Amino acid sequence: MRNILKIAVRNLARFGRRTLLTSSLITLDIVGVLLFIAVAGSFKTIMIGQFTDSMLGHLEVHRKGYVASIDSLPLNLNMQPTMVGKVEQALKATDAVDAYSERIKLGAMFSNFTETTSIRISGIDPAKEIATVPLLPGRVIGDKRAGALLNPGEILIPELIARGLKVKAGDTVVLVATNRDGSVNGKTFSVAGVMQSASGPGGKDGYISIDDARALLRMKEAEVSEIAIRLKNPAQIEAVYAQLSKELSAIAGAGAGAGAGTGSADKSASAGKGGGSGLEVHTWAALSPFSNIANMIDLLAVFIKIMMVSIVLISVMNVMMMAVYERVREIGTISAIGTPPRRILALFITEGLLLGLGGAALGTLISLAAIYALNIWKITVKFGMQQAIVLSPAVSARDVVIIAALVAVMALLASLQPAWKASRMDPVTALGHV
């Protein structure tokens, strides 16, 4: 084996320029892939963070069926206090949960006394909400007001409505909402601030305090539309999602008596859609169309990997086919003097493998250096409401190992055919080759 390695290395050195060219192609290839993974991964993390930390939270709990008809923000699919209590218990018992925030969601009419438009309102407990989506205060446009983000009797309005209806902080406005029994109720609010939309320029989401929301809707009980959850580590989203889903389905089963009572009293349209006593958990990705961007980045990474794989495959195969062709007489000689075909095979496979691995090793080193440099130079991007977010590109050891292994496997596959051809060569024909 050592001898095979020695011969392979020397043959690579013998055709030094070609070896250099091919291995530097592979090197570049790997640098491209690893840098993409690092930068795109960092961008993705920031992007996801913008959604989860400024609006959605990592996970949300709803009554079963609520999300299916979330467009109408159905009041009859709110969670009852007993149910909320049980969810809270489960969340407090879950170590991975950092914070959670109960919200009342409703659709309302917004009026500045001369014009009226529709608005989606979240009733929140500001302290809990900020703990759950810490970037929320950052969405307020203009100078920060001293004191609380939102007091009772105040409303945070979306930029779109502020501009359209020419409303500014300090103005008095009216919200009119239809209650669950069909009656209509109105309430005046003072505008606490104007907010950027987290979900793009079309967003019409406003915030009031949860008590105001309940008063506006004339709720007798402390109902909740959704509970947003923040995890200590966003990487655990899937794991916690699975765990909570299981636990909450058990809770819903136990609490069926309380839930079913109110549920059946509703003459709701969504009762037919499976709205019932159950609970369901969703990840932010399931709730936001922007998760598609994250998926797209992943898809792009897959494409880039496929391209890398093809480049390695083609370049190594090309070089090895050339190597076999150039050394036909040499192959004839070693075959004539009795070198077993499997050793000839090993000789050429080793050569191809070394070519790939050499490029991979160098590429990995350069990539790691480049990623290190990018972190020092602090590349910034603009995304969402934050003007300059510093990218912190990083690759996991797992990614590096996977890429290197992929290159090795491709180099192996690429040299297989030429090596096979060499090992099967007829010595007489090969020796006669000029």
Partner 1 sequence: MALIRAEELVKTYRTGEVDVHAVRGVDFAIESKSFVVFVGPSGSGKTTLLNMIGCLDRPTGGKLAVVDTDVGTLDRPAAAEFRGKHIGFVFQDFNLIPVLTVYENIEYPLIMVQDWPEKKRREQVMRLLKAVGMSGQENKRPDQISGGQKQRVAVARALATDAKLVLADEPTANLDHDTAYHIIELMKKMRDEFGTTFVFSTHDPKIMGEAEVTFTLEDGRIQQPSPRPVAIHA
Per rule CB under 8 A, is residue 18 in the interface with partner 1?
A: no
Which two tokens mark 359? 């490029």
- Choice between 295 and 429, CB closer to partner 1: 429
The one among 339, 375, 392, 417 contacting partner 1 by CB under 8 A = 339
Residues, the chain: 434
Candidate ranges 251-259, 364-372, 388-396, 426-434; the one touching partner 1 (CB under 8 A): 426-434
The one among 242, 336, 390, 405 contacting partner 1 by CB under 8 A = 336
- Choice between 133 and 328, CB closer to partner 1: 328
Per rule CB under 8 A, is residue 20 in the interface with partner 1?
A: no
Which two tokens mark 178? 């239809």
Judging by DSSP bridges, how do beta strands 154-158 and 184-195 pair with one another? parallel
| 3-state per-residue secondary structure call for 6-25 | HHHHHHHHHCHHHHHHHHHH
Per rule CB under 8 A, is residue 427 in the interface with partner 1?
A: yes
Per rule CB under 8 A, is residue 333 in the interface with partner 1?
A: yes
**Number of residues lying near partner 1 (CB under 8 A):** 23
Candidate ranges 129-137, 228-236, 315-323, 332-340; the one touching partner 1 (CB under 8 A): 332-340
Measured distance CA(48)–CA(298) in Å, rounded = 13
Per rule CB under 8 A, is residue 433 in the interface with partner 1?
A: no
Per rule CB under 8 A, is residue 334 in the interface with partner 1?
A: yes
- Choice between 169 and 334, CB closer to partner 1: 334
Measured distance CA(382)–CA(73) in Å, rounded = 32
Candidate ranges 10-18, 176-184, 186-194, 349-357; the one touching partner 1 (CB under 8 A): 10-18
Region 300-329 residues binding partner 1, contact defined as CB under 8 A? 329
- Contact (Cβ atoms closer than 8 angstroms) between residue 102 and residue 84: yes
- Contact (Cβ atoms closer than 8 angstroms) between residue 353 and residue 405: no
Give alpha helix (H) positions in 378-396.
none
- Of 67, 16, 22, whose CA–CA distance to 227 is shortest? 67
- Of 81, 88, 135, whose CA–CA distance to 104 is shortest? 81
- Contact (Cβ atoms closer than 8 angstroms) between residue 266 and residue 181: no
The one among 44, 145, 343, 433 contacting partner 1 by CB under 8 A = 343
| Nearest-approach distance from CB 12 to partner 1, in angstroms | 9
| Nearest-approach distance from CB 336 to partner 1, in angstroms | 5
Chain position carrying tokens 């879950």: 94
Measured distance CA(376)–CA(393) in Å, rounded = 10
Per rule CB under 8 A, is residue 68 in the interface with partner 1?
A: no
Cβ burial, residue 109 (10 Å; 0-12/13-18/19+) = middle
Chain position carrying tokens 């606490």: 192
| Nearest-approach distance from CB 337 to partner 1, in angstroms | 5
| Nearest-approach distance from CB 366 to partner 1, in angstroms | 29
The one among 93, 265, 337, 388 contacting partner 1 by CB under 8 A = 337
- Of 363, 265, 303, whose CA–CA distance to 32 is shortest? 363
- Choice between 157 and 344, CB closer to partner 1: 344
Per rule CB under 8 A, is residue 340 in the interface with partner 1?
A: yes
Per rule CB under 8 A, is residue 330 in the interface with partner 1?
A: yes
Classify residue 143 as left (phi > 0), alpha (psi -120 to 50) or beta: beta
The one among 341, 372, 378, 380 contacting partner 1 by CB under 8 A = 341
Binding residues for partner 1, per CB under 8 A?
3-4, 7, 10-11, 13-14, 329-330, 332-341, 343, 427-428, 431
